[in-house]
Amino acid sequence: MKKLLNVLYVQTQGAYLRLDHETIVMEIEGKTARQMPLHPLSAIAVYGNIMLSPHLIAKCASEGRTVAAFDFRGRFQYRIEGPVSGNVLLRRAQHEALSNKDRAASIARNMLAGKIQNCRQVLLRGARESDDDASREILTLQSKLNRPPIRGWRERIKAVCSDYHRRDWERKLFLFLLYSFL
């Protein structure tokens, strides 16, 4: 009987797990082999021919602990979980937001902004950790974008892209938009 990451793994064949007040008792051939408290556990996983008392299963289910059973080879057999609580009002508000086009667009815009910001952070981290010319170019572009804003976005693009060749303009524009979106 091992306890890893708050999960009790039982592999001793012929074992019987039962509840004794707030502790789990493991019996083998009618004799108590181990006893441990139930409260630190988040789940119980049993492998092979292991029996569980109905009272232990009910207690785990009512307190939100998962009980999972696997065969001798580790193939999943079943899982027992307690009731799942959901917020009906939250689901209803989510469906209403989906039916309202303006609100759905606003949510999608915010999600996209978060993804772009995450991409920006990944690019900057990669540029800081690398030593090649493209990385220095990204950091240079990023430092230009951190300057105080120019009148409008068109002027800002021209200011950032003015020192680049015409053939690199599309790539620089993409990087600019990626960096200045947020």
In the chain, what are the domains? 2-80 (3.100.10.20), 88-180 (no CATH)
Q: What is the largest CA-CA distance in the chain?
A: 84
Helix, strand, coil in percent for the chain, rounding step 5: 50, 25, 30
| Per-residue model confidence (pLDDT) at position 84 | 74
Residue whose C-alpha is closest to residue 42's, from 4, 75, 71, 74: 4
Handedness of CA 120, 110, 90, 96 (dihedral sign): negative
| Per-residue model confidence (pLDDT) at position 56 | 95
The 10 Å Cβ neighbour count of residue 141 is: 19
| Per-residue model confidence (pLDDT) at position 142 | 65
182 residues of the chain, pLDDT tens digit each: 655 568 999 999 999 999 999 999 999 999 999 999 998 898 999 999 999 999 999 999 999 899 999 998 889 999 998 887 777 888 888 888 888 888 888 888 888 878 877 877 777 777 777 777 766 676 666 666 655 544 555 555 555 555 554 445 555 555 655 555 54
pTM assigned to the model: 0.47
Give the neighbor-by-neighbor strand order of the sheet with 23-28. Answer: 31-37, 23-28, 15-20, 51-52
CA distances 11 to 2, 99, 179, Å, are 9, 51, 54
